[in-house]
Amino acid sequence: MTVATLDTRTPMPHKSERGFFSLMAPGARRAFFYLFVIGVGFIIAFPVLWLVLTSLRPASGMFYVHRGTEFTLDNFFEVFENRIVIKAYINSAIIATLATVLSLGITVTSGYMLSRFRGPIASGWFSIIYVFRCVPYISWVLPLYILTQNLGVYDTYLGLLLPHIAVHICFFSWLMKGFFDGIDPSMEYAALIDGCTRWGAFVRVALPSAVPGLAALAVLCWLWTWNEFLFALLLTSHQTPVLTVVMAQFVHELGIEWNLMSATAVMALGPALLITFFGQKYVITGLKI
Amino acid sequence: MLALIAPAAVTMALFQVVPIILGANASFRDWTLYDPKKTWVGLKHYIEVITDPAFFGLAIPNTLLFLVLSVSLSLTFGLGLALLLNRSFVGQSVVRTIVLLPLMVAPVIASIMMRWMFNDQFGIVNVVLEGVGLPPVAWLAYRWTTMMVIVLADVWLWTPWFAVLLLAGLQSLPKEPFEAAAIDAAGPWRVFRSLTLPMLRPVIVVCVVIRSIDAFRVFDQVWVISGGGPARTTEMFSIYAYVEAFQRMNFGKGSAAALVGGAVIVVFGLVLYRLLNRAVEVSK
């Protein structure tokens, strides 16, 4: 008996040559994988690509978008001539920026408090935040319509900003708690022992460490406010038109002019596209909390 | 300590607590926008809402159907995308960028896109259908096809969100169990079912809870795609309250509906929160 007969290794089946793929040329598995990946990417990107394509077609090309060869930028010029659209564009940008700055400013201390303090006040505040996070927007927005009119801020920046900030408080405090939970508090304790006040420890020690998280949340907050529809629909009117509302009205009023509709929507997509391509890192950090 | 939450608490009190009290007050009155009398009518609006077949018979079931379909489909596709992006391949960063795209798109714009793609005369979907020899469909003229378009818009919008969070979850899983499984020659399906899925459970539960609560209040997609039609058959809870308050000008009944629906979702949210805590504890 030789040693060779004691070899008990079982032959491992070669991974790329099993089942269906064993019938095909080597590398078929990889080719199918890439086809699949391209297919998935195409399906996800298709609605946006289609919208962009539609926006570049002349009005007469609406009936054969898929096989026309004429391209034009006239739709964009025509949209730019519409004063309401321009006004709405500017308003949306201003409101989104103000809402981001104010919401972050208000919620950062609340998130810090949730993360660092224990006791009935902290846990009570957390329950309030969770419950209000669940309340559907429509339950606030109907009475807010009355409230903003009584306060005289209906259809102004303030009338739209304050409800936005109030809604952000619940969710953002929750997210901010996550940021501060991820930051080791021992540095703050060291600062407190060295005679720093609690506020000083927060501003000088905890806040700088939270900046990456805050930047991520700022990007998302700006985008959410820019995209928001229901509040804008109910709390604004002709004085302060907002982009999402103007677009939704287009659909119902001049729904047949898809070329103009698409051009407006592509313009509204601008910031979203910029953020996707250049601010990805922030978006992913912001969502992961 | 209280000073830290004071600005947040004051804003919340003014623009969340006060509106709810105002809404509750309005829901007990005959509050129509053109009639200043505002007579106290007690529970009349609540009884109307609860007995209205369009509310518990249509709006709420529609909302729940939408919630279940949208959340389960985006979870499935999101998990698939996360598994795909968890492998390393050439061009992975391009796919990642594409996957993030829908997340940035406003629901209103996504709905406009869907409306255009499913347009009965010139929409690309019907062009493709005719191309393969099938009759075109008037997608937005029937209840179930409209519902399908609404769900599709929502799935397109939210699949990337699931993908990003589940990918982060996948990347934070320990390597050792997977190495052990590879040594034991476990197949990919077996690894997925017995290792990946149970270890990912806490993340999945958190995502599903957050998303379900948000899906319940869907408004934008329904409003732009169907406006609740055809003939109010795809009306969901938020649309119902809006239509009652602002189109039928019955502010009292609209407020009552908004509060009944709000109560339903808050109870639902508290139940889910307990579920969430338990799932996270089990995994520890």
Around A259, how many Cα atoms within 13 Å sit in the side-chain half-sphere?
Answer: 19
pLDDT level of residue B144 (50, 70, 90 thresholds): very high
Look at the block and give the residue holding tokens 């139940």: B271
Phi, psi of B184 (to 5 degrees): -80, 5
Percent of chain B with pLDDT over 90: 20
Q: Among B246, B18, B157, B205, which residue's Cα sits nearest to residue A132?
A: B18
- Please write the tens of the pLDDT for every residue from B203-212: 888 888 889 9
Cα distances from B22 to residues A144, A146, B25, B29, B101, in angstroms, run 8, 8, 5, 11, 39
Nearest CB to A277; choose among B97, B113, B219: B97
Instruction: Domain A77-288: give its CATH code.
Output: 1.10.3720.10
CA B191 to chain centre: 30
- Please write the tens of the pLDDT for every residue from A27-81: 788 888 889 999 999 999 999 998 888 888 887 777 776 677 778 888 888 888 8
Contact B11 A165 (CB under 8 A): yes
Q: Which residues of B touch A166 (CB under 8 A)?
A: 11-12, 14-16
In one letter, which amino acid is A100?
T
Output the pLDDT for position A65. Answer: 67
Q: Is A12 a residue whose pLDDT tops 70?
A: no
Q: Is A226 a residue whose pLDDT tops 80?
A: yes
Look at the block and give the residue holding tokens 């601010």: A279
Q: Is B195 a residue whose pLDDT tops 60?
A: yes
**Is B2 an 8 Å CB contact of chain A?**
yes
Distance from CA of B200 to the nearest CA of A (A): 14
Contact B269 A131 (CB under 8 A): yes
- Please write the tens of the pLDDT for every residue from A160-205: 888 888 888 888 888 888 888 888 888 888 888 888 888 888 888 8
Output the pLDDT for position B82. Answer: 92
Residues of chain A with CATH 1.10.3720.10: 77-288
Q: Please report the sign of the dihedral spanned by the C-alpha atoms of residue B182, residue B184, residue B187, residue B192.
A: negative
Domains in chain B and their CATH numbers?
42-283 (1.10.3720.10)
User: How many residues in chain A?
Assistant: 289
Q: Is A209 a residue whose pLDDT tops 70?
A: yes
**Is B78 an 8 Å CB contact of chain A?**
no
